[in-house]
Every structure is written in structure tokens, then in C-alpha cells.
Structure 1
Amino acid sequence: MTLPARRQRVGALAEPGGTAWTRNPLAEFDDLFNRMGRLLESTVGPGATPAEMPWIPQADISETDDAYVIELDLPGARSEDIDVEINDRELAISGEIKEREREGVMRHRTRRTGRFEFRVVLPGDVRAEDVTAALSDGVLSLTVPKAQPAKARHVEIKKGD
């Protein structure tokens, strides 16, 4: 059985002595890591780390006959640290949950802090001027009323003079 020959890439490192390896087995991982870093920088800008990127809160979206209801889990958030914007059918909720000061040494952490962002495009037209929001017990609840569709009406034809 014949195995395909592997060619050494230009610039790949050979093991000292040149006996067992013709190239560094970790070079492919280094190359992949570098390409992923360039992709991340092109997406979020240079110097941004995953810790600085906003996280997405858990949310439920339901629909009633006359509105869309969105509920986001934001434990520890204050209403003055949350921004809600609606543009056409796109709803954007962003803000920051600030870390509180603690005494002693943190031994375990799973609660999210820092910047968050939630975006959704609602399936139908809405009345942006009538959106309501309330923050209670760490849950942000928004009610986005649906736009009333134009109703068909009968147009009467007048007789000409």
C-alpha cells in the first residue's frame, strides 16, 4: 500500500537533526491560530479580545394578537444602564451590568457582567412610538405593539355631472 507523500511547506520548521520530523507538527496550529486572529480583528477591530466583546442575554420572545413580548434575563442590571432602541422592525437592547465590589477572594464565578447586546428583527410591522419596557426582579420585559394592517374598505363611485 502506498501512502501519499507530504511535501514540506516553504518556511516550515524542520526538527533538529532532521531524522524523525520533516516539519514542526504544531506549525499548522500556529497558522490556524494566526488566521483566526486576523479574522477576529477584521470583524471587531484590532486589539479587541473576547472578554471585551458584548455577551447576549437569554431571552424569550412571544407573540400575542396585538403585540410582541420580549423578556430578557438581566440579573443585577439597573434601568439607567440599559438602552432600548427600535428602528423599523429591528429591536436593539444594550447596556452594561457592572461588577459590584466584593471583599475577599473570588473562588467561583458564573454570573455574567460587562457589556451586553441583544438584537432581533421582529416578523411584522410595529408601532415604535408605543413600545413599553419595565425592569423587575432582573427581567426586562418589553411590549412592542403590532401595526394595524390597512383594512379593506368599499369606495363608492360618484356619478359625474
Structure 2
Amino acid sequence: MATPARRHPRGALQERPVGWARNPLVEFDDLLNQMSGLLESTVGGAAPVVAWTPSADVTESDDAFQVELELPGVKSNDVDIEASGHELVVTGEIKEKERKGVLRRSTRRTGSFEYRLRLPGEVDTDKITADMKDGVLTITVPKAEVAKPRHIEIKESDERGESGG
């Protein structure tokens, strides 16, 4: 049995290879940027700025939550961290670099970003620390004393109900 052949009109070659040539999410980002540009040119620059969310890992230990955000090329002065109640909010901006010549292609994210995290349990917002190293922002959110697991010691008592040693 022969396999069907796909024919292109007038021998035109397929522009896109079979499968995804790049990350499908980049396609959506490009579409969003094009739509924003179109709206901005139509309305005259009054379009709202859409913030993006950086990649993050959240881990939990017995005494703290640790949040690691990927922010390559971002300076700590361009990042703001706020904590209120159970919510942690990280906002900032990656500024567009001034370039010489014509930019032919760009896939790097620029503009405002926002990361929101709702933390389970009680946290101690007064003792939150943040450290920026090698493009990774690490935020440590200690748990409140009430939320930490506590080991309860069991005392043995003799048959008369008196505590023994």
C-alpha cells in the first residue's frame, strides 16, 4: 500500500518544519506582543502594560518556605518584594537595552513582571530574607513558631498515677 503524498501548489516548499521549531509558548508571546502593538498604534499608546510571570521553584522545609525566581540580567534595585498575611508579591522590570544597529530578532523578555504566591500556614513576615545571585532571586520565608512541628515528650507514670523517673 502506498502512502499518500503531500503536494504543495507550484512546488512551494513548506515554510515551517514538521513539529514545533521552537517553544509553543513563545508563539503566544509573539502573538500577544503583536496584538499589543496593534492596539497601541490604534489607541495611541493608551494600552495597558501586561506583566509577565518569571519561572519559579517553591520548596518547603520544617521551618521555612524558599522561593527561587529566575531573573537573569535583573538588578536587585529593579525588584520589589512585599509580604502581607499569606501572600508574597514580587514585582519589577527588565529594562530594554539600548543597542547599536538594527535588532533582527529578540526572544528575551523585557518590561514589567509580577510573581504572586499564596503561602499555606502561618509565616513570620518580619524575618523574610532575600538574596540575588547569578540571576536567581532566593526568598526565604520563615514559618511562624505556631506553624512549626513540635516534638511532644511522653512521660511515663507508674501504676498509682505518680510520675516516675
Q: What is the TM-score of this pair, normalised by structure 1?
A: 0.61
How far the C-alpha of 1:100 sits from its partner, in A, is 1.2
1:48 corresponds to which residue?
Answer: 47
The code of the aligned residue for 1:141 comes to T
2:99 corresponds to which residue?
Answer: 102
Q: Structure 1 CA distance, aligned partners of 2:109 and 2:122? A: 33
Q: Structure 2 CA distance, aligned partners of 1:116 and 1:122? A: 20
Residue of 55, 61, 84 corresponding to 2:81: 84
User: What secondary structure, in the 3-state scheme, does the structure 1 residue paired with 2:105 have?
Assistant: coil
Q: Structure 2 CA distance, aligned partners of 1:65 and 1:146? A: 8
The code of the aligned residue for 2:80 comes to D
Percent of pairs with identical residues: 52
How far the C-alpha of 1:124 sits from its partner, in A, is 1.3
Q: Structure 2 CA distance, aligned partners of 1:87 and 1:132? A: 14
1:20 corresponds to which residue?
Answer: none
2:71 corresponds to which residue?
Answer: 74
The code of the aligned residue for 2:138 comes to S
1:135 corresponds to which residue?
Answer: 132
Aligned ranges 1:1-161 → 2 under 5 Å: 47-49=46-48, 52-149=49-146
The code of the aligned residue for 1:108 comes to R
Q: Structure 2 CA distance, aligned partners of 1:145 and 1:128? A: 8
How far the C-alpha of 1:128 sits from its partner, in A, is 0.2
Cα deviation, 1:76-109, whole Å, max 9, x if unaligned, reads 1111110000001100000111111111111121
Q: Structure 1 CA distance, aligned partners of 2:110 and 2:82? A: 21
Question: CA RMSD for the aligned pairs?
Answer: 1.6
1:30 corresponds to which residue?
Answer: none
Q: Structure 2 CA distance, aligned partners of 1:48 and 1:65? A: 45
Q: What is the TM-score of this pair, normalised by structure 2?
A: 0.60
Unaligned runs of 5+ in 1: 1-46, 153-161
Number of residue pairs matched by the alignment:
104
